[in-house]
Each structure stands twice: as C-alpha cells, then as structure tokens.
Structure 1
Amino acid sequence: MKKLLLLSFILGIFFNAHAQFPTGGLGGAAKKSTVTGRITATILDSLTKKPVDYATVSLINVKNNKSVNGGVTDEKGKLTLQNVSPDSYKLMIGFMGYKTKSVLVTTTPSKPDNNMGTIYIVGTENILADVQVQGTKAIIENKVDRMVYNAEADGTNAGGDATDVMRKVPMLSVDANGDVQLRGAAVRVLINGKPSGTMAASVSDALKMIPAEQIKSVEVITSPSAKYDAEGSGGIINIITKKSNAQGVSGSVNASAGTRQNNGAFNLTAKTGRLSVNTSLGSNFAYAQDSRVVIVNNTQLNAGGFNNISQDGISRWSRNGLNGSLGLDYDFNAYNNISTNVKLNRFSNGGPGSANYIINNLPATNISNMDMTRSNLDWNVDYKKTSKKEGEEFTISGQLSTGRTPTSFSNLLTSAAFPNGVLTASDNTAKNNEYTGQTDYTYPFTKTTILEVGAKGIFRNVKSQYGSSDRDFDYNQDVAAAYGVISFDITKKIKFKGGVRAEYTKIDFNTLTNGTEKNDYFNLFPSFIVSQTLKKGGTVKFSYNRRVQRPSENYLNPFRNESDQFNIQQGNPQLSPELSQNFELGYSTFVKGSVINASVFYRRTGGVIESSISPITENNITKVLSSFINVGTAQTYGVNLFGSYNPKPKWTLMSNISANTYEVTNNATNISTGTFLNYSIFGRSAYGFGKGYNFELFGVATSARRTYQGKTDPFYFYGASIKKDILNKKGSIGINTLNPFTKDLHIKTENNSINPLGTVYQSSNIYYPLRSFGVNFSYSFGKLKFTEKKKIKNDDVKQDQQQGGMGGIQQQQQ
C-alpha cells in the first residue's frame, strides 16, 4: 500500500505541474508540432491511365527549397511518405521517359495526413535523369552526449546477430562469450531505451537472440545526462530496433543454421489509420558440445593443514531460448499517443558432466548434472502528450517486470572410501518482481534552450526459495528519483548540457544469522557536457558525471550453488553499491568520408565489486568458496581510438582500440594491486564486389585482464562472412565462420587469496569449442519505414557479465 501511495504521489506532482503549463507552453509563440503525418498519392500515366511503378518522388520544403523526404511508387503506382512534419511542400515526381512534375502539398498539426489522390504524369520521348531523393546515412554519427552506430546503413550486418553488430560499435569490446564492456567497465544495455528481463538474466544470451537485421542503430552513451538512471560506471548502450510505420502489412524473416547454434526470428507489423500492431517471435538453439575444464586448488589453512584438489572434466552444455512480443500503438489525435508492449523470454541452460579428481593424492570420480531456466515478462504502458509548441512533451510510463529462475544440480562422487558414491543435490528458485512508474516533461524555451524534469519510482523484490526448506531469502529495494536538466548554446559553436539527479534508496533484507537488516542511502548525481564545433566538421567535448552501480540478483542471492561441489558459488546480500566519478575529453572529425574519434578519460570508483575466493572446510575437505565483495577503491586512466577509412568506395577499413589502467587499493589494508594495462583491439575489413556481394573479415584480440586477486590470460578470435543480396534486395543469403583454423578457445585464469582463514591458489583452464560454420537467410516484405518512441528506462542495477551459469565448469559454458 505504501508503494502505491508513493507512486501516486510522484505521478500526482507531475500531473499538477503539467497542468500549470497551457498548451503552447508559457505563452510562447506556437511553433511547428513534433507530431508527424503522412502524404499518400497514386501516380498514373496520363495517356494509358496505368500505374507508374518505381517512379521517384522527392518532398521539397517550400521555405528553403531543401529535400526532406522521398520514396518510390510500388507496382500499383502508390506512394506513402511517412514522418512528415506539418508544413508547406512540393512533390517532385520523376521517372525515365516522363516529364518531371511538381505538385504543392500542405499538412497541418490538426490534419497531419494528406491524401493527394491520383496524380498524372506526362510521357516524353526524351530520357529524363532520375530524381535522387534518398541520401546515404553515415554509419557513424557523433552527437553531443553519445556516439551512434547506424547498423541499418551497414550492409555487412545481414545474417548475424546483435553480438556481431556490437563488435563494430566504437568504444565497445566483446569477448568470446558475447559479454560487452565499455572502456573496461560494466555497462548497462537497454533496448529502445528500456531495461529487459532477458538482458538482466544474461546479456550474452539476449544479444544472440536479436537478429542483426532488426537493429536500426546502437547508441553508446559515455556521459549520460541526469535524465538517465545513474547506473553504469562505464556508461549505457541503447539498442534501437526497427519498427515499421507503413500502412498495411510488413515484416521480416531471419534464419541461420550452423555447427554451434541456430537462430530464427519472425517480425510482423500491421498498421491501419492511427493504430499499429507489432509482433515478433524468435528462437535460439545451441548444439551441446564438450568443453574441457582443468582446475587446481591449493589451500593452506592458518589453523594448520594443506589441501590439494585437482580436476579434469568434460561438460556437455546446451542452451536454447524462445522469445516473443506484442505491441500496440495508437494516436488519438496529433497530440496524444498511447502504446503498450508485452515481451516474454525463456532461456534454458544445462547439461551433464563428468570429472576425474585427485583429492590429497586420492583419486575420485564425479558425475554431475545441472539445469537452469530463466523466464521473464516485461509489460510497458506509455502515454505521450505533445503540443503546438515544437519540442514540448509530457509523458507518463509504467512498467512491470517479473522473472523466475529455477536452478537444480546433482553430484555423485565415487572414491575408494565411498565405493557406492555420495550423492549431493539441491535446487533453488529465484523470483524477481519489479514495478516502475515514471513521468517526464520537456519544455523548449527556445530552439536551443531546453529544460527537462522528471520523477521516477522503482520497487523491487527478490526472493530466493531453497527447495522445500524454510530458508528463504527476501530482499526489497525501493528507489525514488527526481532530476532536472538544462541545455543551451553558450555561443554558436559551444553547447552546454547539464543537470543533477537525486536518488533515495531504501533496502531491507533478511539473513540467516542477523535477521532483518536495513541499508538506506541518499545520493546526488551531477553531470554536464560542454562541446565545441571546430572547423571542417570536427568536435571536441569535455564531460563529467557521477554514477552508481547497485548489485543485482546474481550478486545478492546467498543460495550456495554446488554444481561443482569443490568450487562453490554464493551471492552476498551485504554488498554496498559502487560509486564512481568520471571525466572525459573527446575529439571527433569526419575527413572525406573517414571517421576519427579519440577520447581520454579518468574514472575513480569507490566500493568496487569483484569476485573473491576463500577457503571453507566441510567433512574434513577444504573447498573454495567464490562470492562477491567490495574490494576497495579503483583509479582508472584510459584512452579510446576509433577510425573508419574507405580506400575505395566499396571498401571499408575499421578499427577500434581501447586501453585502460587497472589499479585497486583495499580500504581495510591500504594494499594496492599496482598498476596494470588492459587493452582490446578490433579490426575489420568489408568489401562490396557489386551485384549484391559483400565480404567481411574481422578479428578481436585482448590483453590479460586483471582483478584484485588474479588475472585472466589474453585471447583472440577471428571470423569471416560473405553474403549475397537476392529477391530484388529484399532478401540475402550468406555463409559465415568463426575461428575456422582453431578448434578451442583456451581461457586461463589464476587467482590468489590471502585472508584470516588461510591462503588459496586456484588455476582454471577452460577449453571452449568456438570454431563454427553457418549459413544465414533473411527476407523483408512490405514497405519498411522505421520510427521509435520514448520508453521508460531502468538502468540502475549492476549486472553480472557471466550470469548464464554458476559454478566451475557450468559458468564457462555461456
């Protein structure tokens, strides 16, 4: 009841605030509405009265004589131009063998749609040059607070998935498992500005479920304004998907099959008048393959005693998933819109395994099995109101997210002392419910001076049920937030955007030893960006922001996962959030079609959360417990360099280099790790041979990755693909390969721990079968014009980058 009252109070404040602003806003002069409409027409031959298909049409603004839109007619001579702002235009219609015709057309905010009916064009014996109406969008765009990669403008993305797209995005690094980092730090991934239960469960799995053809663009927000939730020391990645805004029915089909995984996706949009319905279905199936893991644990207890446990085993891990969504969008009129969307996702991971052990010089064998299923539902409802004043907008959004993660495992350990075997088994069901209400208001005083204010409430509950026992974990986290952002031009070339966000967090949870515990805290998160436009299209900017990362379910759940009974995993509900301060200086320029983006940054993070190992003794055997702790304070210096160059019009070379230091000082001992260098390098070459053929090569290499207790050795992987446009460029077919000359990806990790109980040395060698070959097919039907709508965003929780599996062998199979 208290949550409902608090949510009602937050929304009530902004309903009342919005009521103070009459339509048009503070008496300002009415300007063009941001609501857009469409222009339709049918083009016929004046003599034969037959449709003129593939006639090119350009929409010219009468005031400045610039082309703002355009398209081609279909086989019935019909034309639809979407997203047309209210204004006065002229249609320029041209086709080979016809005289160019100009027709005046006007749309208004109260009547944004205009059906021009039938337009006749006259033939001529002279051949007319085609009217060019469609420009080429740049693959990389640099904006004041983000870098944008326009995936739809990159023809080599067909047949891949979101993981393949991410590897081409500036400043991002993607490892062999598909986990994404931004400048060496964890990053929050949103879809259309919203959090996703699928992303919260496993980022790498969720990215594999999104076909590349569905992605319109990827925004890399290194300096989020106060409007965003304050989570993410590295920043925010926002994946914007394609949505059809065409009248009638349109959609796409994508499928891929290969030696490692198979994907399928179907998308359909139906629109009539002001009602639009979007639906999608997707699936992912990965073949079960043997992965080898070799782990050695050496422990020396301070109370006396030495233990040595080594294992050499095989895990046959499989992964499959299903997802679906249904969305409705309706415009009541030119100024009021409501939309809703429901997304369902289900992932299943698991499989059998076997291992040979040497426990203090005594042999043993173990047969294991593990199953983990994640089911998530996200339901959003959004209302948006605009006015005649261009840029003024008021929104209210609500979101329900719920997830279930049942996990079970069993181990049968056999040795000379236990010839019949010792069976251990357990199960756990984690439940995550989240309710969110948000309201935002944007008011433009002028075209360049804009005020944004908003409030938000998030109410989370995480429960972990341990089989049939009464040892349940109950964790509640409520967040109330409000923000204000102002942006304006200091001069014609210098822009400023800054603000502050206030967040109050209320936490209570139960533990087995101390009963109910509480942890409430209040934080202010200021941020600002100053950018200056230089000569010849260059831009330089400086930014500062303060960020937070709260631990999510996987970090908090105290359930002991003993799928590897000698390497146990457990969450820590007493974790504190990370707090970071970020400074960035960046430069970007476009030179004759080439893109250069360079930046340097400094980040100071307190309460850094990392995995930690420690010894525990059970049944006279010392095992290794892996959990999470706040290890200390980190200072990070980094640089990022991205470049794209076209030696020839159809040949693109692209490279991204990221490097940052790693240095953490423990607050309790004042001991520092020392300073190390982490880096990653991505290189890509894409070439279009003509006739619809495109070929691509890419490679990724990383340095050793440091943590407070150890390091992971460097690794690399590479791939290639070729695709051919078919069916009048509505479809494509291609083949791809990953690590064709290397069967396994070897990942070696070493950790050393010294604590009051003793010392632990752990060495882990994973041989992950990465080599793969596959074929892909995609096909789009209907007229696809894409738009996006603002959605609610929850991006305040730190996500585990390897959440797909828990413990020993299973953790590495993601």
Structure 2
Amino acid sequence: MKRVLLLFIGLVMMLSAKAQFPMAMGGGSKVTVTGKITAVVLDSITRKPVDYATVALIKVKDNKSVNGAITDDKGKAVLQNVAPDQYKLTLGFMGYKTKTVMVKTTPERPDLNAGTILLSPTSGNLKEVEITGQKAMIENKVDKLVYNAEADITNAGGDATDVMRKVPMLSVDINGNVQMRGSAVRVLINGKPSGTMANSVADALKMIPAEQIKSVEVITSPSAKYDAEGSGGIINIITKKKTAEGVSGSVNASAGTRSNNGAFNLNAKTGRLSVTTSLGLNQAYPQKSSVVVLNNAVINGVNNTTSQTGYSDWSRVGYNGSGGLDYDINAYNNISSSVKYNHFSNGGPGLYEVVTNGVVSHNSRDMDMSFNNLDWNVDYKKTSKKEGEEFTLSAQLSTGRNGSDFTNIFSNPNQPDLIIKGNNTGKNNEYTVQADYTYPFSKTTTLETGMKGIFRNIISDYGQGSGQNFDYDQNVGAAYGVLAFKITPKISAKAGLRAEYTKINAAGAGNDYFNLFPSVVVSKTIKGMTTIKASYNRRVQRPSLFYLNPFRNESDVFNPVQGNPNLAPELTDNMELGYSTYIKGSVINASVFYRRTQDVIESSINPIIEGGVNKNLTTYINVGTSQSYGFNVFASYNPKPKWTLMGNFGMNTYDVTNPADHIKTGTFLNYTAFARSAYALSGGWSTELWGVINSPRRTFQGRTDKMYFYGAAVKKEILNKKATIGLNVLNPFNRDLVINTVNTTATSNQSTNIHYPLRSFGINFSYNFGKLKFTQKKKINNDDIKQGEQQGQGGIGGQGK
C-alpha cells in the first residue's frame, strides 16, 4: 500500500507541474528578449583552435558573472540566453594569459559574434611553442570533478581498475575495490547501472579495457534526483560511445607482459538516425602469486594453528559488445535504444603445503568464476520550445548469470586423497521503469521531478547440486523533487527530497522500510572563477547478492566465506564544504567533509573448529556506527604550455563503535596521494610519469598495509596525427606488489602475505577515423545497492559470485 501511495503522490507532482506550467510557452511568464554571444578562440602563435578554454560573461555595471561556456574542438564558444547589456568576456586556459574583451548587445541586435579572440601562451620563449590543443586532464565543474582518461597516455594497456587509481579523491586496493574518501561508492557506466556490477564492482572493472574509457566523473554530493545508494558518492564511467555525422570510429590495441587489450568503436549517422557499436576484449596472462596464510586460535582452552604456504596461478579473460540506435522523430521528440553484453571469467590452479598442529599435508586447488550479463535500455525524450524543458520516459532490463566452481584435493602419505567440491550458480533479473520531468520557471529557477520503480529477483543455487536455493526479491518505489534557484546573483542553491519505499522477500521472510533522503547544496561565486560550496545529503546502501548469498565458498577450506541474508542497509549523512579556483593557469580544488554512517557493513572473521580443524569463517555483519572527518586537495599547474604538473592528496579518519557488541576501534587516519608530470615534445611526442600511494586500510578487526603504484609512458603521433603508438611501464623496479593483511579477534588472529606480480611492460597502438561530435543521452540509474568487494587474491578467501 505504501508503494502504491508513493507512486501516486509522485505522479500527482509531475502532472501538477505540467498543468501549471505548460510545456510550450511556460504559463504566460513575462517575455524577455535574449540572444547569444559567439566567439572563436585561437592560439596567438599557431592560429590553431584552443579547445576547452573557459569563457566567462561578466556584467560591466556590477561586475557579476552571469554566464559561461567551454570552447569546442574548433575553439568555438556559444553563450545562450544573454539579456541585452554591456559585458566583459573573460577567457582563460592553463598555459595561456587570461584575456578580457568588452562586448555589448541590444534589444534590437540581441545576437553578437565577437569574432576571433587570440590567447597568448605564458611561456617566455614563444617562438618555440607548438600548441597541440589537448583536453585538460582534470575539469572541475559545479556538481562534479571530471578526469579525462583519454588524455592520459599511461592508461593504454590497462583496465578500468588502473584508470580508477589516478582519479582524484578515489583509492583502489589491489583487488580493485574502490572507495571515495574511505567509503563505498556507486559505480555507473554511461550514467546507468550495469548488471555486471551487481555482484562485484572489482571484477566488473577488470572487464573494461582502459582504451574504451573517455572520462570518469566523481560526484561527491549527489542531489535527490539520483538514487540514494552510495555513502561516499557516485562514480560515472563515460565510455567512448559517440555520435557523428557520417561514419567515424576508433581502433585500440595493446600487448604486454601482464595483459592484452583490444577495443573497437564504430559510429554512423545519417539524417535523423544514429547507430553506434563497440567491442572490447581483455586477456590477462596467468599471474603466479606466492601466498602465505597463518591461522591461530584458542578454542576450548586449546591452541590451534594452521599454516598454508604455496602459490596461485590465476588468469582472466573478458569481452563486451554493445550496439545502439538513436532516432530524432522531429525537433522535439527522440527515441533511442541500446543493448550491452558482458562476459568475464577468471580463476586457475594453486598448490599449497598445509601444516595443521604439526601435521603436514598438500592441497591442490582449482577455482573458476564466470559472469555473463545483458543490459537493454529503451528511452524516449520530449523537449519543447521553452529552453530547458524536458520529459523523459525510460525502461531497462538487466539479466545476468554467474557461476563459481572449486575443487580441493588433500594428499597425505599412506592415506586416500580427500576431495572437497562446491559450485554456485546465481541468476539476477532486474526490471526498471522511470519518468523524469524538468521545468524551468525562469532563467534562475528550475524544477526537476520524477518517479521510478525497480523490481529485482535473485536466485542462487548454493546447495552444490542438492537443489537448495536462495530466492530473493527486492522492489523499490521512488519519487523525488529538486528545485534549483538563485538566492542572489552570486549565490545559487539546489534543494531536493527523495522518498523511497523498499519491500523485500527473502527465503519466505518479508521486510519493508520507507526512507526520506533530503539534499541541499549552496554555491557562491566569490569573483571570476572562484567558488565555494556547502552541501548536505543522506544516502543509503542496500546489500547486494554478494553480501547476502548464503552459499559457502570453500575454495580455501581453512578460510571459507559466506554471505549473510539478514543484513540491514547502511544509512549515511554527509556534509561537505568545498573551494575551487583558477589562478594564472592553475587549478585548485579543496574540500572538507563529515560523514556519519549507521549499520556499517564489513567482513567479520569468526574462528570455528570443524572436523577437528581450525578455520576462520568470513561473513558480513552490520558492525556499528562510523563517524569520519576528512579533507581533499587537488592542484594542477602548467610551468610551461607543454608541461603539466598535477597532484592530489586526501585524508580521512576511520572510527567504528557499537556499544552493544563492545566494538570500539579507536580513530585511525587513512590517506591517498597521487602525483603526475606530463610533457609534450615537438614532433608529436609526449611523455608522462605518475605515482600513487594508498595508506594502510582498516577494518574493525584488522589492517592491510599500504601499497604504492608508479609508471611511465611515451607516445608518438603518426599517420598525420590520426594514429598513435606508445610504450608503457608499471612498477618497473619492483616485480611484486607485497600485500600484508592481519585480522584479530578476541581468541584468534589471521595473517596473510601475498606477493602479486605487478611489474609489466607493454606497447599500444590506436587509430581514429572520422569527425567526432559527442552527444549525451539520459539513461536509467539504479544506484541503490551496495556492490560487493572481491575478497582475497588468487583463491585465498575468495567469494563465489
């Protein structure tokens, strides 16, 4: 009944807004003559376009910023909805001197072509400067920070996990688990969820070749328009899906000592019809990791010890393909559809010497995991003559199947072999319908409202063929309203409220809950391009199949892993204060934040004895309440037009308490640091150096030591700049990444030492053809479930998914 009432209220909100403010003319609001200002920005030496230069429009009489734009690949900028007045055009880009041009529009001539504007490089030796017009690596926008991965030549040959390590404010462990400011995030692909992410975001990221990624958006303070999942925020990976008039595309290939990647994108447009398609491949060679695991426990007054020493030899292979159609019915109506398929598998053998209370045996293991997922989207969009008014209706089907199989063979002298097997098959079906409506009351006030329904069914056969199933249904109904408005000409605000009703049926037991998620952000422009921002929002993270699945994975018999169907969702309150500015070609972005999370979900190790053998069973529990304070600073500086220096440093506290279970971890500091230097040489050559350090990672029971990654790349443009060829290296001076983890309970401790071979060398090639023009389509975003983390490495402590 609650769900029906919620959906009805949301529908009334949308219809009421539409009735009061007609789509075509805006309900009789006062008509104001407006126009546009266009300009083309060129380098003063080479006369080549300067793309991604910032253009700010400032009113002369009060020196207030009223509009802005970014130049395209031809150096052109267009500022729309400009009221007649006298203005200053302020133009700037890293490595160039800021320039101001006076302009004026009138009611009789509201449109103005400012013509060609030349920017001068800041370098002292201008005669030797050859500007290439490369996209900025980092863009700081009002509601997000954007990392342009396609502009980073060191990404070639890697996967999405390698890309994520270089994104400001993110930290990634060796398994690919991503956090923002020490908390879990929601990861989207092209603005929408993928069923591939439903089990493990770490595994899903390994499926995506780095060459397919265009950019990564980091949204720290999502509004109520977004689904409320993701206590740390939202990460949106934009792939190289493009729409162009005619035929265009790209081919990328890389080969190396660690992995091989391939990516192909083809785009075609004729008239109103656009067609896109892509194919990605990823294959990693078997990585032989040495592993040492030691379990100690005192049970019933007796000390039990089990040690394992050996290796795992895991490999992985993945491929994905997609296709899409986009058709403009007329100037105001558009329909589009896309389908994407993903396949990924990893696993391999391992061999260990096991010593249990002085008794020696040998364990031969084999572990295989696979993922298959299909996402299909259909979207309809209607616009009107009123600038900014938009109605969209979307539907999405996501269906997937994943499997996990393991075999353990124990060999002892003069005894028959002991064989332990297990398998798990999971099926995930998800259906989503969504309607959104945006209405601008005026230039300064805009309403966004919408409704959404998500219907999930998960079945996991975890009985090793015995017919036992875990059947899980989760239905979510949501409605939201967001109002964006200006308090003063320099102060903008966006406030909203999202209502979500969740009904769960798990193995015959039902549960439902209703939540309200407010959000507010206030931004003030101090002067020019300097802004400060304050925000608050509430978020939720519902556990996914990864955390709920009661299947017991015994690929490591002494360290089994099992989900918990009784987990409660996490609820988080976030507050943030941010500052950003551009100073003489430099970019500075800083923020401080506070976060409080109830019912934090973490892994929990429990010592048990089965068959006289000491084991550590890992499951997932609601640990308690976490409070975290932190800050992040990002800066970019161009000492010369061809030289870019970039750095990011973030720190946050970790503290979990639960008086009922006597849990109090104390306060620990976590940090992540990133540095990059890129230099473009003459003749189409470019070079880069980079490094990342992640601090030790804490849980309520343990700690994983710090890790660091570093690399370099060189790239050369060939074939009239249509193609590039390059070399990449990762951790060249250290063959292995050493991962030490220690977990402690009141009666036991577990230590794991893994030497993972990370050093790699590779060669890459890319070729682009056609003239590309980007378009962005609104898609469904299911942002409401906590995604799984891949546990362990090379079969130790792995979770079947």
- Residue 175 (str. 1) matches residue 163 (str. 2): no
Going from structure 1 to structure 2, the CA distance change for 1:69 and 1:681 (only over 3 Å counts) comes to closer
CA distance in 1, matches of 2:637, 2:535: 27
2:26 paired residue number? 25
Q: Deviations over 1:26-66 (max 9, x none)?
A: 334689999xxxxxxxxxxxxxxxxxxx99999xx9x99x9
- Residue 609 (str. 1) matches residue 591 (str. 2): no
Q: Deviations over 1:132-167 (max 9, x none)?
A: 999765443333322223345556655654344433
Deviation at 1:212, TM superposition (A): 4.2
CA distance in 2, matches of 1:444, 1:615: 59
Q: Deviations over 1:153-194 (max 9, x none)?
A: 556655654344433322122333433221111111111110
Check conservation: 2:175, 2:791, Cα contact below 8 A.
no
- Residue 796 (str. 1) matches residue 784 (str. 2): yes
Check conservation: 2:146, 2:217, Cα contact below 8 A.
yes
- Residue 352 (str. 1) matches residue 353 (str. 2): no
Q: Deviations over 1:613-639 (max 9, x none)?
A: 102222122211000001101110111
CA distance in 2, matches of 1:67, 1:183: 30
- Residue 743 (str. 1) matches residue 746 (str. 2): no
CA distance in 2, matches of 1:669, 1:71: 59
Check conservation: 1:587, 1:597, Cα contact below 8 A.
yes
CA distance in 1, matches of 2:3, 2:657: 42
1:262 paired residue number? 260
- Residue 521 (str. 1) matches residue 510 (str. 2): no
- The structure 1 residue matched to 2:657, chosen from 660, 665, 671, is 665
2:121 paired residue number? none
1:222 paired residue number? 220
Check conservation: 1:398, 1:437, Cα contact below 8 A.
yes
TM-score of the two chains, using structure 2 as the length reference? 0.85
1:565 paired residue number? 557
CA distance in 2, matches of 1:531, 1:549: 27
Q: Deviations over 1:451-479 (max 9, x none)?
A: 00111111111111133212111111111
Deviation at 1:327, TM superposition (A): 0.6
- Residue 305 (str. 1) matches residue 308 (str. 2): no
2:109 paired residue number? none
Q: Pairwise mapping of residues 283-302 of structure 1 onto structure 2 (< 5 A)?
A: 283-301=281-299
Q: Deviations over 1:97-156 (max 9, x none)?
A: xxxxxxxxxxxxxxxxxxxxxxxxxxxxxxxxxxx9997654433333222233455566
Identity %: 64
1:46 paired residue number? none
Going from structure 1 to structure 2, the CA distance change for 1:172 and 1:394 (only over 3 Å counts) comes to same
Which residue type is aligned with residue 27 of structure 1? G
Check conservation: 1:569, 1:807, Cα contact below 8 A.
no
Deviation at 1:86, TM superposition (A): 12
State the secondary structure of the residue aligned to 2:184. coil
CA distance in 1, matches of 2:160, 2:25: 41
Check conservation: 2:3, 2:501, Cα contact below 8 A.
no
- Residue 424 (str. 1) matches residue 412 (str. 2): no
CA distance in 2, matches of 1:344, 1:70: 32
1:630 paired residue number? 622
Deviation at 1:807, TM superposition (A): 5.5
CA distance in 2, matches of 1:649, 1:411: 59
Going from structure 1 to structure 2, the CA distance change for 1:612 and 1:57 (only over 3 Å counts) comes to closer
Q: Pairwise mapping of residues 180-219 of structure 1 onto structure 2 (< 5 A)?
A: 180-219=178-217
2:141 paired residue number? 143
Q: Pairwise mapping of residues 58-137 of structure 1 onto structure 2 (< 5 A)?
A: none
Segment of structure 1 superposing worse, 191-200 or 321-330: 191-200
State the secondary structure of the residue aligned to 1:490. strand
Q: Pairwise mapping of residues 514-663 of structure 1 onto structure 2 (< 5 A)?
A: 516-663=508-655
- Residue 436 (str. 1) matches residue 432 (str. 2): yes
Check conservation: 2:10, 2:480, Cα contact below 8 A.
no
Check conservation: 2:450, 2:481, Cα contact below 8 A.
yes
Q: Deviations over 1:422-480 (max 9, x none)?
A: 11111110111111111100000011200001111111111111332121111111111
Deviation at 1:605, TM superposition (A): 0.6
Going from structure 1 to structure 2, the CA distance change for 1:398 and 1:543 (only over 3 Å counts) comes to same
Going from structure 1 to structure 2, the CA distance change for 1:6 and 1:195 (only over 3 Å counts) comes to farther
Deviation at 1:213, TM superposition (A): 4.6
Which residue type is aligned with residue 233 of structure 1? S
Structure 2 residue runs without a partner (length 5+): 36-46, 59-67, 83-129
Going from structure 1 to structure 2, the CA distance change for 1:275 and 1:55 (only over 3 Å counts) comes to farther
Q: Deviations over 1:543-587 (max 9, x none)?
A: 111111111111000000000111100000100011111111111
CA distance in 2, matches of 1:8, 1:546: 21
Which residue type is aligned with residue 427 of structure 1? N
Deviation at 1:811, TM superposition (A): 6.5
Check conservation: 2:306, 2:357, Cα contact below 8 A.
yes
Q: Deviations over 1:584-622 (max 9, x none)?
A: 111111111111111111111110110001022221222
Going from structure 1 to structure 2, the CA distance change for 1:446 and 1:331 (only over 3 Å counts) comes to same
Check conservation: 2:251, 2:263, Cα contact below 8 A.
yes
Going from structure 1 to structure 2, the CA distance change for 1:164 and 1:624 (only over 3 Å counts) comes to closer
Q: How many residues align?
A: 728
Which residue type is aligned with residue 25 of structure 1? G
State the secondary structure of the residue aligned to 2:734. coil
CA distance in 1, matches of 2:265, 2:365: 39
Q: Deviations over 1:713-745 (max 9, x none)?
A: 112121111111111111111111111111111
CA distance in 2, matches of 1:25, 1:665: 53
- The structure 1 residue matched to 2:460, chosen from 460, 464, 468, is 464
Deviation at 1:309, TM superposition (A): 0.5
Q: Deviations over 1:738-764 (max 9, x none)?
A: 11111111100000123xxxx221001
1:786 paired residue number? 774
Going from structure 1 to structure 2, the CA distance change for 1:177 and 1:30 (only over 3 Å counts) comes to farther
Check conservation: 2:637, 2:646, Cα contact below 8 A.
yes
- Residue 452 (str. 1) matches residue 448 (str. 2): yes
CA distance in 2, matches of 1:55, 1:237: 34
Check conservation: 2:154, 2:712, Cα contact below 8 A.
no
Going from structure 1 to structure 2, the CA distance change for 1:706 and 1:272 (only over 3 Å counts) comes to same
CA distance in 2, matches of 1:221, 1:564: 38
- Residue 332 (str. 1) matches residue 329 (str. 2): yes
CA distance in 2, matches of 1:14, 1:207: 38
Going from structure 1 to structure 2, the CA distance change for 1:495 and 1:753 (only over 3 Å counts) comes to same
- Residue 772 (str. 1) matches residue 770 (str. 2): no
Going from structure 1 to structure 2, the CA distance change for 1:665 and 1:71 (only over 3 Å counts) comes to closer
Check conservation: 2:241, 2:265, Cα contact below 8 A.
no
Deviation at 1:208, TM superposition (A): 4.1
Going from structure 1 to structure 2, the CA distance change for 1:308 and 1:749 (only over 3 Å counts) comes to same
Q: Deviations over 1:487-545 (max 9, x none)?
A: 111111111011111111111111xxxxx322211111111001111124211111111
Structure 1 residue runs without a partner (length 5+): 35-53, 73-80, 88-131, 511-515
Check conservation: 1:188, 1:236, Cα contact below 8 A.
yes
Deviation at 1:703, TM superposition (A): 1.7
Q: Deviations over 1:637-677 (max 9, x none)?
A: 11111111111211111111111111100241343111111
Check conservation: 2:654, 2:669, Cα contact below 8 A.
yes
1:49 paired residue number? none
CA distance in 1, matches of 2:643, 2:212: 24
Going from structure 1 to structure 2, the CA distance change for 1:393 and 1:536 (only over 3 Å counts) comes to closer
CA distance in 2, matches of 1:388, 1:31: 15
Which residue type is aligned with residue 168 of structure 2? P
Which residue type is aligned with residue 457 of structure 2? N
CA distance in 2, matches of 1:12, 1:353: 56
Check conservation: 2:243, 2:275, Cα contact below 8 A.
no
Which residue type is aligned with residue 420 of structure 2? T
